[in-house]
Structure 1
Amino acid sequence: MTFHEYPDRDMAVMQIAQMLAGSLRKCLAQHDLASLAVPGGSTPGPVFDAMSSVELDWSRVHVMLTDERWVPEDHERSNAGLVKRRLLTGPAAKAEFVPFYRAGMTADEAAPVLSQELGHLLPVSVLLLGMGADMHTASLFPGADTLSAALDKNAPMLCAVHPEDQPEARISLSAPVLDGAMEKHLVIFGDDKRTALEKAMTLPPEEAPVGAVIAGGDVHWAA
């Protein structure tokens, strides 16, 4: 794990966006297509804004989520809606977005279907992650009902999750898929998140799921 500390969040956002864009260009120079997996939440929004104007061959990039709340795209809590509003604009609008939500299906019903349909997009070329103060990443929450299955080395691409303190089910890339990304980047802001990450490195994945996926990756932090 490589730790990058920035003087402020604005500098972090600019540098992270450029690093991710450079990684995509490098991948596209060697492969026909590249896949970019990104989180929802408030932290990555400014990174999306910066990346959306970067010039690269976005038409050869598949963008997917690390996890999705099981709500329609026009719902205020939809991660897909956030990505489309803030990342898939300008030059980045040419990227192909890979949605997870399927109307008429539950998260539990959709997870195995999507795992089979989207397996050709693996391994993820470039992965961007966030982390909660509870040390969850994507929708791998400590104590979640399906966490053990999602952490298993033989887990499918996607797993349904039912967090007890959340209003809706979720679907998430599993730990082996996240850990198997060709490049991994975790973005955290604030002293509380840095402390949480340091604590996570001392705990088993069942208590700190982020620890199961960040080995060998890059961590980006600003106060």
Structure 2
Amino acid sequence: MIHWRTYPTRQAQALALANAVVARLDEALAIRPRALLAVSGGTSPKAFLSQLARLPVAWRDVDITLVDDRWLPPTHAESNARLVAETLLPGVDGAHWLPLVDTTTSAALHVQTLNDTWVHGVPQVCVLGMGEDGHTASLFADAVQWRNAITTHDRFVLVQPQHAPHLRVSWSLAALASCDRLMLQIQGPAKRAVFEAAQAEAQDNAISRLIHCEGVNIDVFWSEE
């Protein structure tokens, strides 16, 4: 089921999304000792992450990770880990950071280790983004690993897009579909049209595959600009 939340500006969207994430984390922590939050990188989440860092939560009981990241050192300008380190982590005292990338080892070995040793389950709150090609997380339909990424029961997959830079580590489609609460942050009429087309008819892209997974509910936070 899809629930639309519409906002006139990106700033209003960012604040509403941050408050929604806090409410869901509070709900999760009321019934469990720890909660896992997964956030997205790129340019769109910056305002949201900055707003979230200002809001009160029992952050000492929250683990934070990424929906996906590029296989880059955490200091690299295009690393999603760097974005989180600069916008969110300074304001969430006590939260436990769980990176998806460790470039001191091989990518394939690292993803295998993540799958073998991850003890944190799936996120109670997962904030996604979406590209105009319909990808979400780093599940790109043009990647050689696409079929594995949308069929595997592993939580993490290695993805090399053909038309986007960098090797990536991403949560798999099955892992995303099993998250307790999915929230999608998108802006503008073009992305709304992509999402609505993916919802109306099954397509071979990640957002459509996710929408049509049984039992999946997505709160879409959309801003007009």
Separation of aligned partners in 1, 2:200 and 2:105: 38
Contact 1:88 1:94 in 2 (8 A): no
Deviations 1:10-63 (A, max 9, x none): 211111100100100111111000000011011111100000011111011010
Partner residue in 2 for 1:170: 168
Instruction: Provide the secondary structure at the position in 2 that maps to 1:144.
Output: coil
Deviation at 1:169, TM superposition (A): 0.6
Matched, 1:82 2:80: no
Partner residue in 2 for 1:108: 108
Percent of aligned pairs with the same amino acid = 30
Instruction: Provide the secondary structure at the position in 2 that maps to 1:37.
Output: strand
Separation of aligned partners in 2, 1:61 and 1:77: 25
Partner residue in 2 for 1:209: 206
Separation of aligned partners in 2, 1:9 and 1:100: 28
Deviation at 1:167, TM superposition (A): 3.2
Matched, 1:128 2:127: yes
Contact 2:71 2:103 in 1 (8 A): no
| Inter-CA distance 113–203: structure 2 relative to 1 (3 Å threshold) | farther
Instruction: Provide the secondary structure at the position in 2 that maps to 1:113.
Output: helix
Deviation at 1:203, TM superposition (A): 4.5
Instruction: Provide the secondary structure at the position in 2 that maps to 1:93.
Output: coil
Separation of aligned partners in 1, 2:71 and 2:210: 23
Separation of aligned partners in 2, 1:162 and 1:155: 19
Partner residue in 1 for 2:179: 181
Range with bigger deviation, 154-163 or 184-193: 154-163
Partner residue in 1 for 2:190: 192
Normalised by the length of structure 1, the TM-score is 0.94
Instruction: Give 1:1-223 correspondences, 5 Å limit.
Output: 1-90=2-91, 92-118=92-118, 120-152=119-151, 154-204=152-202, 207-214=204-211, 215-223=216-224
Normalised by the length of structure 2, the TM-score is 0.93
Contact 1:179 1:212 in 2 (8 A): no
Contact 1:66 1:129 in 2 (8 A): yes
RMSD: 1.3
Contact 1:68 1:80 in 2 (8 A): yes
The one-letter amino acid paired with 2:37 is L
Deviation at 1:137, TM superposition (A): 0.2
Contact 1:70 1:169 in 2 (8 A): yes
Deviations 1:147-195 (A, max 9, x none): 111111x420100001112332111000011111101100100111101
Contact 1:149 1:155 in 2 (8 A): no
Separation of aligned partners in 2, 1:211 and 1:122: 24
Separation of aligned partners in 2, 1:212 and 1:181: 15
Tell me, which stretches of 5 or more residues in structure 1 are unaligned? none
The one-letter amino acid paired with 2:11 is D
Contact 2:142 2:163 in 1 (8 A): no
Range with bigger deviation, 95-104 or 172-181: 95-104
Separation of aligned partners in 2, 1:174 and 1:198: 22
The one-letter amino acid paired with 1:164 is Q
Contact 1:112 1:156 in 2 (8 A): no
